[in-house]
Structure 1
Amino acid sequence: MGGRFGSPLFGASIKGFLNDRSALEGITSFGSFGIGITGLYEYHLYLPGVPGLRPFLGGGAHVATGRASAYNPYADSQFSDIYAGLDGVTGVEYVFEDIPLALSIDVLPVLNFPGRIGLWWNAGVSVRYVFK
């Protein structure tokens, strides 16, 4: 578990592995315009000769509330709106061998609905404590 720092949101991240390659990640996001909760399934690949480095890809869904702003063009008014959508994810994670720390960088293309349907890009860096 740890923190996720990105554009346009920052928040908390928790990730648990189901097996050697499959993981579930939950993200609670906070920004100047609202809050959101995202759930992702991630499939991890292993690169031969590069221990600890794991590219991943997957998808999931989110629900959020927010005000319309330059960072949130999908809210329909200056007041709070609730919206949901589907998320993709691709990135790379590095798990240190000697210390209980994982660093990852990812990109999430997000399809928001209901209301004004549109594609939104989210990117972030996560720093998580690893329970071994």
Structure 2
Amino acid sequence: MKKLLLLFSLTALLSVTGAKAQDYKTAVGLSIDFGTGATLVGPSIKHFFNPADAVNAEIIFGGNSTLIQGFYQHHWPLKDAQGLKFYLGGGPGVNLYEGGSTFILRPMAGLEYKIKDAPIALNFDWRPGLFLYDGGSEFEAGRFGIGIKYTLK
């Protein structure tokens, strides 16, 4: 609940201050995946094909696992908050660990803010997962992502 309150507070603050930003085409950075279970950290890359549609790929490590995942994201700018976009998307992933692997399907919803006059973009998203493995499946709702990216034109 505290995380959701922080997210809404950040959105309100950026809306009130009238923060402005410029768009970017490609960005590289650091992604953190956290929530129930282990926290995973690693590199990410995001590329926009047009102002609304992007792909984001991550290779993150933690808890004796390597998670490789890719997402399609569709973005909408938030009115009166330039540089702040809401996005929905999802995609597949694979969790590799000693002795096996798990296939993951993940929807996501989040916010991204591109800082004006700085090559930095920040994001926060909710990314629940459906984990599919030999003999069953498991749904995990309590997963979130934070990212910081260096933007390229």
TM range (shorter): 0.7 to 0.9
> CA separation in 2, counterparts of 1:12 and 1:119?
25
Deviation at 1:6, TM superposition (A): 3.0
The residue that corresponds to 2:44 in the other structure is: 13
**Runs of 4+ residues over 4 Å off in structure 1:** none
Partner of residue 97 from structure 1, selected from 102, 116, 124: 116
**1:20-51: CA deviations, max 9, x gaps?**
10000001110022101001000001112110
In the alignment, structure 1 residue 129 sits paired with structure 2 residue 150: yes
For 1:25-64, what aligned pairs fall within 5 Å after superposition? 25-64=56-95
Q: Which residue of 1 aligns with 2:10?
A: none
Mapped to 2, the partners of 1:129 and 1:122 lie a distance apart of: 24
Q: Percent identity?
A: 31
Distance across 2 between alignment mates of 1:80 and 1:123? 26
* Helix, strand or coil at the partner of 1:51: coil
1: distance between equivalents of 2:122 and 2:78? 16
Of Structure 1 and Structure 2, the greater helix share is in 2
SS in 1 for 2:152: coil
Q: Secondary structure at the match of 2:51?
A: coil
Over the residues paired in the alignment, what is the CA RMSD in angstroms? 1.2
Q: Where does 1:55-74 land on structure 2 (aligned, <5 Å)?
A: 55-66=86-97
TM-score with structure 2 length normalisation?
0.74
Give the equivalent residue in structure 2 for 1:82: 101
Q: 1:67-118, CA deviations, whole angstroms, 9 ceiling, x for partnerless residues? A: xxxxxxxxxxxx5221102111111000012100000011111101122301
Runs of 5+ unmatched residues, structure 2: 1-27
**Partners of 2:40 and 2:86 in 1: CA distance:** 22
TM-score (norm 1): 0.86
- Indicate the SS of the match to 2:77: coil
**1:117 is paired with a residue of what secondary structure?**
strand
Q: Give me the whole-angstrom Cα distance separating, in 2, the residues matched to 1:36 and 1:109.
A: 14
